[in-house]
């Protein structure tokens, strides 16, 4: 029965988020949109961010993968991950220079500069990956003088601080963010040094600064930013982010924008105890140049990464062209049309890849004799949405989508030869592009919403092990995947509860699909404002995951609970917040805290123990 039920989901159902801006609640029959828009209130800035304490990205199928302390997280949604979900800012794409996405630059933004976020579970819009995108929008510059600031500190199991400031005047804006701290302790008061083979608990630092200027009389806006991250520990992986610098800039005119970003990323295992025996280091650089407007985007990307592996005591040394000077050219166009209760979104485009270091030909051909130095792919998406009111307050929505996108550049062209019997890591230049068919239904009645969804993905890209002539290699291959599930949301007065369940299977082998998050339930109770005070109580439950892919060395995990409490107080232009996380000091790991990709550490990452967060916010117009 279970298989019949799940396959029925894949055939008959899928859920869609109705477009709704938080401040707009007075609609009787909402038009179905692919985009869920949410304004970002100042007092809730961090709830809408991409940090681990983000409430927005920990419900409705979204999750943040725990890879270490803050600034290491990556986004996950309904069984899709990495490049399947793009995080962009006003149409600007930020590609990672690290193949393991240490430097997911757009997930390290300054929320003080953002006014709105869009959650899109569709590939049929610009800047979307195979599954969708998370797009932040900068606030509109005005002719006024405004000062905003948020300062937060963590104590107890966590020991760090984060300070942001934004100053605005005469259609110009300057923002600055700085964070520093030590790696946290788990519920057993064990540190990164105790748990993950670090020589010490190294202090990290993160800096972000940006500037914008608007010339409204000419409909022109321009700006730039700089970001630097140092010594950010990634126990999820075998190396850490030692120094990443990101430079970016943009110029927009009448809705058209040209932008660039450049990432210089250094990672190595110099913080680990095994550094004296085996030294691993990667220097990676990525340059992205884009031109985008209301219906189009043109992107050029160049990615180059050099890796070395050295065992000085044994005299072994390997120099790898990890990403062999890869060029990527993309052109996409999108539009939408409405026909009564039916709305369609259409995207079409093309992508061209090539690698310019021909010395890597022989490496790929060991596994894939038919590999070529360049590939051409089609980008396309078509989604139709329908909504109708069955009876008063009972609304049925449905969508159906067919979409395809190119494989990620690292899946095509990663190339790492490893020492001794350790498996090499090889991209697969012969990969076919994934094709996703999905259907989604939503039934809403007053304070409850039930969403059912199903995805059939032909040419889904999976990690596999293959044998070379003398040793194994981890690489990528195409399979057929089924992913289905449900989101149930209950919202009544001061209480909100969200349940998410996922099921995934490799249809070719009839084995569980890897990295499918287990059942989770998130509940929050918030009191109304009383003389400026607000109280909240939150609870998160995640069930054990027993459906695992043993061939990829996944392992089962236990269920866990976590409780948080908070009190907020607003006094004129000031906002104060005191929050206690993991109140019962549980010691646990999440299923998605384990990486099965090459260069993974092969161990789960514990969540922080009990910690106290104190935040002060200022929002003043002069």
In this predicted model, what pLDDT tens digit does every residue of 261-313 receive, in sequence order? Answer: 999 999 999 999 999 999 999 999 999 999 999 999 999 999 999 999 999 88
The CA distances from residue 485 to 59, 337, 382, 384, 588, in Å, are 14, 29, 22, 20, 25
pLDDT(8) > 50: no
CA within 13 Å, CB half, 122: 31
Q: What is the mean pLDDT of residues 346-350?
A: 97
Q: What is the CATH number of domain 2-621?
A: 2.40.170.20
Looking at residue 34, its pLDDT comes to 64
Per-domain residue ranges for the chain? 2-621
CA 201, CA 191: separation in Å to the nearest integer? 7
Q: Give the CA angle between residues 261, 265, 270 to the nearest 5°.
A: 165
Looking at residue 23, its pLDDT comes to 30
pLDDT(16) > 60: no
CA 211, CA 399: separation in Å to the nearest integer? 40
Token pair listed for 254: 């009448």
Task: Give the confidence band of 32 by pLDDT, cuts at 50, 70, 90.
Answer: very low
Q: What is the mean pLDDT of residues 132-155?
A: 94
CA 431, CA 476: separation in Å to the nearest integer? 8
How close are the terminal C-alpha atoms of the chain, in Å?
64
**Residue carrying structure tokens 């304004």:** 39
Instruction: Please report, rounded to a whole number, the percentage of residues in the chain having pLDDT higher than 70.
Output: 94
326, exposed or middle or buried, with CB in 10 Å at 0-12, 13-18, 19+? buried
Please name which of 461, 373, 468, 459 lies closest in space to residue 416, comparing C-alpha atoms: 468
pTM, to two decimals: 0.91
DSSP state of 367: T
Cross-strand pairs, 288 = 261, 301
Sign of CA dihedral 128, 120, 94, 175: positive
Task: Give the confidence band of 595 by pLDDT, cuts at 50, 70, 90.
Answer: confident
């Amino acid at each position: 029965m279970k298989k019949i039920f799940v396959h029925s989901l894949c055939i008959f159902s899928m859920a869609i988020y109705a477009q709704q801006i938080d401040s707009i609640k007075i609609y009787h029959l909402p038009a179905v949109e692919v985009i869920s828009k949410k304004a970002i209130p100042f007092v809730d800035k961090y709830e809408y961010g991409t940090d681990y304490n983000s409430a927005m990205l920990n419900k409705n199928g979204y999750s943040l993968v725990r890879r270490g302390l803050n600034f290491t997280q990556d986004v996950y949604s309904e069984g899709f991950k990495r490049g399947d979900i793009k995080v962009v800012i006003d149409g600007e794409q930020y590609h990672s220079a690290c193949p393991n996405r240490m430097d997911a630059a757009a997930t390290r933004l300054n929320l003080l500069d953002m006014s709105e976020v869009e959650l899109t579970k569709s590939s049929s819009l610009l800047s979307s990956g195979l599954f969708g995108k998370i797009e932040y929008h900068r606030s509109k510059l005005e002719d006024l003088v405004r000062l905003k600031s948020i300062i937060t500190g963590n104590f107890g199991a966590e020991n760090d601080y984060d300070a942001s400031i934004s100053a605005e005047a005469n259609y110009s804006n300057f923002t600055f963010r700085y964070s520093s701290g030590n790696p946290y302790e788990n519920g057993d008061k064990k540190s990164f040094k105790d748990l993950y083979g670090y020589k010490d608990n190294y202090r990290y630092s993160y800096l972000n600064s940006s500037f914008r200027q608007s010339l409204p009389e000419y409909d022109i806006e321009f700006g730039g930013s700089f970001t630097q991250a140092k010594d950010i520990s990634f126990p999820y992986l075998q190396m850490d982010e030692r120094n990443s610098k990101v430079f970016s800039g943009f110029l927009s005119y009448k809705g058209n924008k040209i932008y660039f970003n450049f990432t210089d990323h250094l990672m190595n295992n110099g913080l680990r105890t095994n550094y004296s025996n085996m030294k691993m280091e990667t220097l990676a650089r990525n340059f992205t140049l884009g031109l985008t407007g209301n219906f189009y985007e043109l992107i050029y990307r160049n990615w180059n990464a050099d890796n070395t592996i050295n065992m000085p005591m044994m005299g072994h040394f390997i120099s790898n062209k990890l990403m062999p000077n890869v060029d990527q050219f993309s052109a996409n166009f999108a539009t939408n049309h409405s026909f009564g209760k039916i709305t369609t979104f259409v995207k079409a485009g093309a992508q061209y890849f090539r690698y310019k270091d021909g010395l890597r030909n022989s490496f790929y051909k060991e596994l894939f004799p038919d590999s070529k130095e360049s590939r051409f792919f089609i980008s396309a998406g078509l989604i139709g949405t329908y909504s109708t009111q069955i009876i008063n307050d009972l609304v049925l929505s449905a969508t159906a989508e067919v979409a395809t996108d190119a494989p990620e550049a690292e899946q095509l062209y990663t190339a790492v030869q490893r020492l001794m019997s350790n498996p090499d890591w090889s991209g697969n230049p012969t990969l076919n592009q994934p094709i996703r068919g999905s259907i989604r239904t939503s039934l809403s009645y007053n304070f409850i919403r039930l969403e059912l969804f199903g995805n059939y993905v032909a040419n889904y890209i999976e990690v596999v092990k293959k044998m070379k002539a003398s040793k194994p290699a981890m690489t990528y291959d195409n399979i057929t995947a089924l992913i289905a599930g449900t989101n149930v949301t209950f919202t009544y007065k001061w209480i909100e509860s969200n349940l998410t369940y996922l099921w995934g299977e490799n249809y070719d082998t009839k084995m569980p699909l890897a990295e499918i998050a287990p059942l989770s339930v998130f509940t929050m109770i918030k009191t109304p404002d009383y003389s400026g005070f607000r109280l909240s109580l939150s609870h998160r439950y995640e069930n054990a995951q027993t459906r695992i892919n043993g061939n990829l060395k996944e392992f089962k995990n236990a269920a866990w609970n976590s409780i948080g409490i908070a009190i907020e107080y607003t006094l004129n232009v000031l906002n104060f917040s005191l929050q206690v996380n993991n109140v019962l000091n549980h010691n646990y790991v999440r299923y998605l805290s384990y990486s099965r990709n090459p260069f993974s550490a092969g161990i789960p990452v514990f969540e922080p123990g009990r910690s106290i967060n104190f935040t002060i916010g200022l929002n003043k117009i002069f």
